[in-house]
Chains A and B, each alone.
Chain A
Amino acid sequence: MPATATPLIALRGVCKRYFRGQQSVDVLQGIDLDIEEGDFIALMGPSGSGKTTLLNLIGGLDQPTAGSVSVDGQRLEGLTSAELAAWRARNIGFIFQFYNLLPMLSARRNVELPLLLTSLSARERKHRALLALELVGLAARAQHKPAELSGGEEQRVAIARALVSDPRLLICDEPTGDLDRHTADEILSLLQVLNHRHGKTILMVTHDPKAAEYARRQIHLDKGVLAREADAGGGA
């Protein structure tokens, strides 16, 4: 992992409080965290520990109640909804547990979606989408719709969609939670390649200790606070 003077992600005193009716729930309580560029972090912890909430804050999908979230020098708190949307389109690739592909679009057109927000020509968009599919080994399935793909293939398409606009940070929420062991290993290996060879910074939420081994570092959350941090086996 290359060392840099400024971390790619810096969280300072981040708190998140939700309200359920009259009751308030403190999901995150004063999180301080630095993630360097090129890192591959597995964020672990029991259900309700605040993993996804933390992921959402770093991905600009939500705003902290207190504290600051800075990604590549950009402070996210205070950005408007439109500014956050534009920032996400430029900087973040999202990978979900249930793939979240649009069922009526082919694999290629699903991958092309983030590029619709750019000024690229239709031809260039198509070219880049096919390149991304090639990178995940699915160029031959470009015209297939999600229903015609296996779970592993769908997740590969989702990874291609996350990569197509060449973001520096990939945010993965339980990317193998819906896959069998063998397919999960393939997907995790692919993420590892993206981290090692292409320098993508990856932040992955997982319940699965085996999945976490693919990461360079493991961070454990418990009841909204960072519990412990450990190196994983994925740095090799």
Chain B
Amino acid sequence: MKFLGLVWASLLRKRTRTLLTLLSIATAFLLFGFLDAVRVVFTQGSAQSGADRLITTSRVSFIQPLPLAYREQIKALPGVHTVAYANWFGGIYQDRRNFFANIAVSPEEYLAIHPEILLDEGVREAFLSRRAGALVGAELARKHGWAVGDRIPLQATLWPHKSGSSTWTFEIVGLMRARDERARKFENQMLFRYDYFDEGRQSGQGTAGWYIAKIREPAESARVALAIDALFRNSAAETRSQSEKEFNLAFARQFGDVGLIARAIMAAVYFTLLLVTGHTMAQGVRERTAELAVLKTLGFGNGLILRLVLAEALLMVVMGGCAGLALASATLPLFKTFGAQLPPLRIAAESWWAGVGVMLGLGLAVGLPPAVRAMRLGITEALAER
């Protein structure tokens, strides 16, 4: 610790250069924070998903419908408690940019299977009794200024109304709130009744987009998933059953391998940062050749000089990196881009650890070459150059 003042003073030797370098490091780690939060959401974002829920879709494609008759067959399997079904509606409210998930669901079973959806008293009953009723997430309602009792029109993109109109009208009967942070996605969704949807659409009656089966014992989920798929093997509509977590991951992957893209961008950023910071450090040490030689003359050993220069690089990278990650942590809650289907962006503990790891790696990578050079510096040659 007694050398910290010396390390700190060395960093402040060229204040403007150090500040600019710190800013570039902070910016890189701000980007790291954003990208890693996205990566986490897209690769582990469904960790909040119920361990006791299985999703069954068509084996061919997520968008291929399954017969509604499957519901009773799945429900009859040992280990299955309740079965709900749902269909992606894909309606647009006023403008495509107002994207949010709007899903037709079998109301009673869906709410029973998802206890993390919190409803005010009487809302459940209202939803079950009104055919055009819809539940909207509290955050979604706030965003569009909706209130209970409002009638909202959605433009169908996939399912035109049998009347020939592309407009479907829903009545908001209540707001959905999340039981905890992990279920936050429901606050940005809209759910409406499947029977209203099935009767109103022009085609596809008697089918469902996917089934959600609540399993009695989570440990049984793998066995039950296999049993469901075995039930419909060699049928016209074969199924693919998976845990809700896997399903959500597959959904997220529709956007591409976001984890890989994020890593690729980060690698490019860090390579650039490595060059910039490495050059700054090397230049900083080159300029101090005589000073380092003086320290050696005073009795600072080679090992100590190596450690001092390394500490300087590490201190700079860790300071800039922590500032960037802290800024990312503070600003991420302002973004709700993926709120529809995935949990909100935030800097997870694993991102902090990964960030600190990258900081240490980067600090060593940019600090080691000049530190070794400083360590090998010949005193008499360095002083003679002065």
Q: Which of B247-304 contact A (CB under 8 A)?
A: 290-291, 294-303
Interface residue tally on A, bucketed by range? 20 to 34
- Complex interface bits, A100-116 against B, C-beta within 8 A gives 1, otherwise 0: 10111100010001101
Query: Which of A39-47, A68-76, A84-92, A211-219 is the interface stretch?
Result: A84-92
Are A82 and B299 closer than 8 Å at their CB atoms?
A: no
Contact with B along A159-188 (1 / 0, CB 8 A): 001000000000000000000000000000
Interfacial chain B residues near A86, Cβ < 8 Å: 299, 301
A94 touches B297 (CB 8 A): yes
A61 in contact (CB, < 8 A): yes
Partner of B380, one of A56, A94, A98, A100: A56
Q: Is the CB of B2 within 8 A of A116?
A: yes
B303 (CB) vs chain A CBs: closest residue: A82
Which among A89, A103, A116, A161 is the interface contact of B13 at CB below 8 angstroms? A103
Q: Would A82 and B302 be within 8 Å (CB), given that A102-B9, A116-B6 are in contact?
A: yes
Contact of A85 among B6, B296, B384 (CB under 8 A): B296
Q: Which residue of B lies closest to A103 (CB)?
A: B13
Complex contact B302–A88 (CB within 8 A) = no
List residues of chain B with CB within 8 A of the CB of A100: 290-291, 294, 383, 386
Q: Which of A59, A85, A89, A102 contacts B291 (CB 8 A)?
A: A102
CB pair A88 B10 closer than 8 Å: no
Tally of contact residues, B, Cβ under 8 A = 25
Point out which of B10, B299, B303 has the most chain A C-beta atoms below 10 A from its C-beta.
Answer: B299
User: A81 touching B380 by the CB < 8 A rule?
Assistant: no
A36 contacts partner chain B, Cβ-Cβ < 8 Å:
no
Q: Is the CB of B299 within 8 A of A89?
A: yes
Partner of A81, one of B3, B301, B384: B301
A62 on interface, CB distance cutoff 8 Å: yes
Query: In the complex, A100 Cα to B384 Cα: how many Å?
Result: 12
Selected contact of A88 from candidates B5, B297, B303, CB within 8 Å = B297
User: SS class of chain A's interface: helix, strand, loop or mixed?
Assistant: helix
User: Is the CB–CB distance between A96 and B383 below 8 Å?
Assistant: yes
> Residues of B contacting A33 with CB < 8 Å?
none
> What are the residues of chain B within 8 A of A87 when measuring CB–CB?
299
Would A117 and B299 count as touching, CB distance under 8 A? yes
A88 touches B298 (CB 8 A): yes
Within the complex, the shortest CB–CB distance from A169 to chain B, in Å, comes to: 13
Residue in A96, A104, A117 whose beta carbon sits within 8 Å of that of B300 in the complex: A117
| Given contact pairs A62-B380, A96-B383, A105 touches B9 in the complex (Cβ within 8 A) | yes
A56 contacts across to B, CB distance below 8 A: 379-380
B152 interface contact, C-beta 8 A: no
Tell me, in angstroms, the Cα distance from A161 to B383 when the chains sit together: 17
Knowing A61-B380, A62-B380 are in contact, say whether A104-B10 is a contact too (CB < 8 A).
yes
Pairwise interchain contact A104-B13, C-beta atoms closer than 8 A? yes
Q: Is B12 an interface residue (CB 8 A)?
A: yes
A122 in complex: contacting residue of B2, B12, B299, CB < 8 Å:
B2
Residue in A85, A96, A122 whose CB lies within 8 Å of B301: A85
List of A residues within 8 angstroms of B379 by Cβ: 56, 61-62
Instruction: List the 3 closest pairs (A to B, CB-CB), nearest first.
Output: A89-B299, A85-B301, A104-B9
Task: List 24 contacting pairs A-B, 8 Å CB cutoff, sorted by A.
Answer: A59-B297, A61-B379, A62-B380, A82-B301, A85-B301, A88-B297, A88-B298, A90-B299, A96-B294, A98-B386, A100-B290, A100-B291, A100-B294, A100-B383, A100-B386, A103-B13, A104-B9, A104-B10, A104-B12, A105-B9, A113-B298, A116-B2, A116-B6, A117-B300
Given contacts A87-B299, A104-B12, 14 further A-B contacts (CB under 8 A): A56-B379, A59-B297, A85-B299, A85-B302, A88-B298, A89-B299, A89-B300, A96-B294, A100-B290, A105-B6, A109-B5, A113-B295, A116-B6, A161-B298
Residues of B in contact with A (beta carbons under 8 Å apart): 2-3, 5-6, 9-10, 12-13, 290-291, 294-303, 379-380, 383-384, 386
